[in-house]
Amino acid sequence: MLILSSRLEAVDKKLLFLIYTYGKVLSKRKLHQLVYDLQERYRVNLGFSFAGQPPFSQDLDSRLESLVEKGFLKKVYVIGSRFTILYKPYYAITEKGVKAIEKRDFSKSDQEAIERLVQEYKAAKEAGAPSGVARPAQE
């Protein structure tokens, strides 16, 4: 029998804070892109290795599944836009997840970096950037 510890590591709290700050459900693809940009552009050390384009991390995928199993995230499926994609997984933070990050007991600079990244993505979307993966300009 597998026993899951509900104790969260700093990486988990940063991921939850990222999803919370974004303010709506995120597709798996968008979440991987956000975490990739957070590590590469803002130098927030989350410890994930990425490959391919769009970037994908098996470790991040496993971490997200673990957060779902522990009840901090909820995985929802949306019907895909093409016949080759029946369902697309999206992630939403649960009440348990929101409570877990209330203290924000991780680096203030990482918290600010997450907030800046989300603001950039939202601004790019409002400015009419193509849907899918928004790529804000390099600093």
Percent of the chain with pLDDT over 70: 88
Helices (H), the chain: 10-22, 28-42, 58-69, 95-100, 108-126
Per-residue pLDDT band at 80 (split at 50, 70, 90): confident
Is residue 122 included in any domain, yes or no? yes
In a domain, 133, yes or no: no
Whether the CB-CB separation of 75 and 68 falls below 8 Å is answered with yes
Q: Can you give the pTM of this predicted structure?
A: 0.84
Residue 33's domain is classified under what CATH number?
A: 1.10.10.10
Query: Residue 138 — pLDDT band, cuts 50, 70, 90?
Result: very low
Give me the pLDDT at residue 133, please.
46
Number of domains composing the chain: 1
The verdict on residue 23 lying in a domain is yes
Q: Would residue 55 count as lying in a domain?
A: yes
Residue 64 lies in a domain: yes
In this structure, is residue 56 part of a structural domain?
yes
Question: Does the residue 137 lie in any domain?
Answer: no
Q: Judge whether residue 136 has pLDDT over 70.
A: no
Give the residue numbers spanning the domain of 45.
10-126
- The tokens 């804070």 sit on which residue? 17
Q: What is the pLDDT of residue 68?
A: 97
81 domain-assigned: yes
Question: Across residues 17-36, what is the average pLDDT?
Answer: 96
The stretch 55-65 carries a mean pLDDT of: 96
